């Protein structure tokens, strides 16, 4: 073996939370990684914005490039690891340039893959340059390889999970402490579990990016971000958490990709998860993914979905695959086999629903509510009214039998117009047992 074949020379773009830890582990775990990769792993060049910033790794004898895209062109870089983030600009330029240079690309960038995954998988094939992305979904949980490789013999029936640690931390802390959404969000920001601008997490887009990648892997379908429906957790109140407990559920933000005879349903939304299911007990910043395959049956993976260590663990597994020459179609199937999949029209999507209304405590309110639901052809499975308020609002909660999204949306419009309804209704779908 020549000197060059004994070493894998790595260029890393981005030395933040993930990139810094990947570089540090390559330095400190060198003997173990050598054994696993069959080659010595060496970081030869890096890029970041600020060369003076203190980094997790020592980075001795490592070249710095001015622009991340320069890493693709260097003769001393065999594989490029993109850990910048964002779906445009430096990350996208680098990803495209690397594949066009016929070099392997490792990325943890879910936003890039959610927007341009299909195009990048196409470049990977056209230029015969592998694209590795284990860290892009659920950090340390090896879900990409599980769907793409371990479960390749199955027709996937359903994939869903807790894909955003920030939301899971907020919802489980609200349940454990009885505090409000705003209060717990503030604490999550102080602890570094939520960004200063938490919109992307709490409105469901981060989970959405991960879901569309999982959905493509599970069903051999194109990555379809425009076909995603996403709701976040802003409307969940401390009351909803209490009602969920009483009714036998836990509220979780789930990403669900389910294949139905009428098309693919891709939705991120808060769900009532039955307390007897494994996902109901996945708390804090942990992630979990449930998969149902035709041959394997049900399978659940639970673990840390973010953070320096778990994400670096996934990136290193990709670098080792690259060193070993292990290569799979980036998104599970080659472009000639990607099949166009119809999206399930919303009016055909069915579930049971939990609805909470804050109403004036007056006679006749329940009769009016029942009439609106009757007109929308929705039947109620159970109804709860809590306490009596002297002058203020009281919570009325009902659970429907299975009904479709269109009927529910029509009923919500009617309910929101009731003079006695004081706040926009809160709707949460119910995950079947």
Rounded CA-CA distance 290/138 in Å is 12
- Is residue 207 a contact partner of residue 315, using CB atoms and an 8 Å limit? no
Q: Which of 81, 114, 121, 135 contacts ligand NAP by CB under 6 A?
A: 135
- Shortest distance (Å) from residue 35 CB to ligand NAP: 26
Residue window 100-129: x/- pattern of binding to ligand NAP, with contact defined by CB under 6 A: --------xxx-------------------
Q: Which of 8, 10, 12, 15 contacts ligand NAP by CB under 6 A?
A: 15
Query: Closer CB to ligand NAP, residue 65 or residue 291?
Result: 65
- Shortest distance (Å) from residue 119 CB to ligand NAP: 17
Residue window 38-67: x/- pattern of binding to ligand NAP, with contact defined by CB under 6 A: ---------xxxx--x--------------
- Shortest distance (Å) from residue 44 CB to ligand NAP: 17
Site for ligand NAP, residues 17 to 36, rule: CB under 6 A: 17-19
User: Which among 15-23, 188-196, 261-269, 287-295 is the span making contact with ligand NAP, rule CB under 6 A?
Assistant: 15-23
Query: Closer CB to ligand NAP, residue 277 or residue 313?
Result: 313
Q: Which of 237, 238, 268 is nearest to 254 (CA)?
A: 268
Site for ligand NAP, residues 64 to 103, rule: CB under 6 A: 68, 83-85, 90
Q: Chain centroid to CA 217: how far?
A: 13
- Shortest distance (Å) from residue 83 CB to ligand NAP: 4
Interaction of residue 311 with ligand NAP, rule CB under 6 A: yes
Query: Closer CB to ligand NAP, residue 189 or residue 420?
Result: 189
Query: Closer CB to ligand NAP, residue 173 or residue 311?
Result: 311
- Shortest distance (Å) from residue 380 CB to ligand NAP: 42
Total of residues contacting ligand NAP (CB under 6 A): 24
Given the residues 103, 210, 229, 406, the one annotated as active site: 210
User: Which among 14-22, 122-130, 268-276, 322-330 is the span making contact with ligand NAP, rule CB under 6 A?
Assistant: 14-22
- Shortest distance (Å) from residue 267 CB to ligand NAP: 22
Answer yes or no: 210 catalytic: yes
- Is residue 344 a contact partner of residue 261, using CB atoms and an 8 Å limit? no
Query: Closer CB to ligand NAP, residue 16 or residue 38?
Result: 16
Both ends of the chain: CA-CA distance in Å?
56
Interaction of residue 139 with ligand NAP, rule CB under 6 A: yes
Q: Which of 39, 293, 60, 269 is nearest to 155 (CA)?
A: 293
* Residue carrying structure tokens 């209704």: 425
Reduce the secondary structure of the chain to three states and give it as a string: CCHHHHEEEEEEECCCHHHHHHHHHHHHCHHHHHHHHCCEEEEEEEECCCCCCCCCCCCCCCEECCCCCHHHHCCCCCEEEECCCCCCHHHHHHHHHHHHCCCCEEECCHHHHHHHHHHHHHHHHHCCCCEECHHHCCCCCCHHHHHHHHCCCCCEEEEEEECCHHHHHHHHHHHHHCCCHHHHHHHHHHCCCCCCCCHHHHCCHHHHHHHHHHHHHHHCCCCCCCCCEECCCCCCCHHHHHHHHHHCEEEEEEEEEEEECCEEEEEEEEEEEECCCHHHHCCCCEEEEEEEECCCEEEEEEEECCCHHHHHHHHHHHHHHHHHCCCCCCCCCCHHHCCCCCECCHHHCEEEEEEEEEEECCCCHHHHHHHHHHHCCCCEEEEEEECCCCCCEEEEEEEECCEEHHHHHHHHHHHHHCCCECCCCEEEEECCC
Query: Closer CB to ligand NAP, residue 68 or residue 208?
Result: 68
User: Which among 11-19, 151-159, 187-195, 232-240 is the span making contact with ligand NAP, rule CB under 6 A?
Assistant: 11-19
Query: Closer CB to ligand NAP, residue 135 or residue 341?
Result: 135
- Is residue 430 a contact partner of residue 351, using CB atoms and an 8 Å limit? yes
Interaction of residue 202 with ligand NAP, rule CB under 6 A: no
Which residue in the shown chain puts its C-beta closest to ligand NAP? Answer: 16
Site for ligand NAP, residues 204 to 233, rule: CB under 6 A: none
Query: Closer CB to ligand NAP, residue 199 or residue 379?
Result: 199
- Shortest distance (Å) from residue 314 CB to ligand NAP: 8
User: What are the residues facing 82 on neighbouring strands?
Assistant: 13, 107
- Shortest distance (Å) from residue 218 CB to ligand NAP: 19
Report the catalytic residues. Answer: 210
Q: Residue numbers of the site for ligand NAP (CB under 6 A)? A: 14-19, 47-50, 53, 68, 83-85, 90, 108-110, 135, 139, 306-307, 311
């Amino acid at each position: 073996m020549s000197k060059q074949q004994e070493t894998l020379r790595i260029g890393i773009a981005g030395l933040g939370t993930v990139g810094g830890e990947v570089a540090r582990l390559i330095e400190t775990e060198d003997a173990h990684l050598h054994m696993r990769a069959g080659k010595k792993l060496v970081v030869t060049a890096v890029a970041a914005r600020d060369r003076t910033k203190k980094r997790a790794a020592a980075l001795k004898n490592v070249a710095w490039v001015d622009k991340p895209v320069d890493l693709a062109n260097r003769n001393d870089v065999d594989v490029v690891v993109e850990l910048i983030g964002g779906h445009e600009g430096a990350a996208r330029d680098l990803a495209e340039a690397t594949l066009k240079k016929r070099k392997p690309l490792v990325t943890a960038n879910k936003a890039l893959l959610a927007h341009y995954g299909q195009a990048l998988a196409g470049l990977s094939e056209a230029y015969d340059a592998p694209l590795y992305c284990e860290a892009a979904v659920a950090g340390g949980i090896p879900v990409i390889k599980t769907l793409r490789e371990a479960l390749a013999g199955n027709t996937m029936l359903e994939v869903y999970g807790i894909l955003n640690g920030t939301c899971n931390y907020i919802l489980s802390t609200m349940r454990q402490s009885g505090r409000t959404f705003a209060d717990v969000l503030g604490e999550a920001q102080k602890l570094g579990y939520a960004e200063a601008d938490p919109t992307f997490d709490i409105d469901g887009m981060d989970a959405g990016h991960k879901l569309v990648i999982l959905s493509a892997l599970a069903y051999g379908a194109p990555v379809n971000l425009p076909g995603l429906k996403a709701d976040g957790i802003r409307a969940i109140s401390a009351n909803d958490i209490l009602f969920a407990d009483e009714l036998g559920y836990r509220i979780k933000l789930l990403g669900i990709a389910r294949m139905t005879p009428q098309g693919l349903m891709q939705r991120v939304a808060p769900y009532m998860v039955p307390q007897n299911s494994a996902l109901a007990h996945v708390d804090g910043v942990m992630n979990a993914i449930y998969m149902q395959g035709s041959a394997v049956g049900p399978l659940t993976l639970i673990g840390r979905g973010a953070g320096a260590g778990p994400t670096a663990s996934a990136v290193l597994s990709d670098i080792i695959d690259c060193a070993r020459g292990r290569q799979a179609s980036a998104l599970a199937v080659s472009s000639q086999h990607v099949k166009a999949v119809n999206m399930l029209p919303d009016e055909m999507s069915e579930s049971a629903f939990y609805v909470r209304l804050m109403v004036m405590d007056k006679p006749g309110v329940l009769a009016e509510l029942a009439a609106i639901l009757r007109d929308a052809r929705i039947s109620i499975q159970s109804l709860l009214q809590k306490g009596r308020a002297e002058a203020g609002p009281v919570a009325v909660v009902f659970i429907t039998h299975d009904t479709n999204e269109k009927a529910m949306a029509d009923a919500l419009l009617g309910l929101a117009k009731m003079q006695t309804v004081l706040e926009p209704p809160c709707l949460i779908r119910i995950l079947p047992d």
